[in-house]
Amino acid sequence: MNQPEAVANSSQLSKRAARRLIQRALVLTGRDRHVREHIRKARLTMLWVLEDWGFAWTVHLDRGKIEFDRRPAKKPDVTLTWRTAAEFFEQAEKENWRAEAFEYSGPQELMRTLERLYHSFSVSLGGVLRNPVDENGDPLV
């Protein structure tokens, strides 16, 4: 069986491949015990947007569970917007949380919850970009 290679240039991903990688990274983030503990009381809907691609998805936090939805939420509690997909993937590849790298719209008190979640997501997405396979070993790209 062929081992999938790391994603060399994440900005060149198709939207479908990017969605699969993002979804896998969110699944892995949801398995992180520290993140689940941190969001155990949170109930909110987040909209994540990559402006240049016209690409958006919804992340639901519901008492320790993280759910991914391909459709954009109509009334999210929080919106995170990156101007370019390149910025989004570059931040994930460096596994670096920088609040100034995206535009935040929502209550400021949710930023602490978001910080822990996004840091874990960045680490997970960086790992998925280096090894783009699902839990069964099937390639994601």
Q: Say if domain 12-127 classifies as CATH 3.40.50.300.
A: no
Those residues with Cβ within 8 angstroms of residue 95's Cβ, 6 or more apart along the chain or in another chain: 119, 122, 123, 126
pLDDT tens sequence across 92-136:
777 666 667 789 999 988 888 888 888 888 888 888 888 776 665
Beta strands 103-105 and 78-82 are antiparallel
Nearest Cα residue to 78 out of 40, 117, 104, 97: 104
Q: Degrees (nearest 5) of the Cα angle 23, 24, 26?
A: 65
Nearest Cα residue to 40 out of 19, 62, 25: 62
Per-domain residue ranges for the chain? 12-127
pLDDT tens sequence across 40-82:
888 999 999 999 999 999 999 998 899 999 999 999 999 999 9
pTM over 0.75: yes
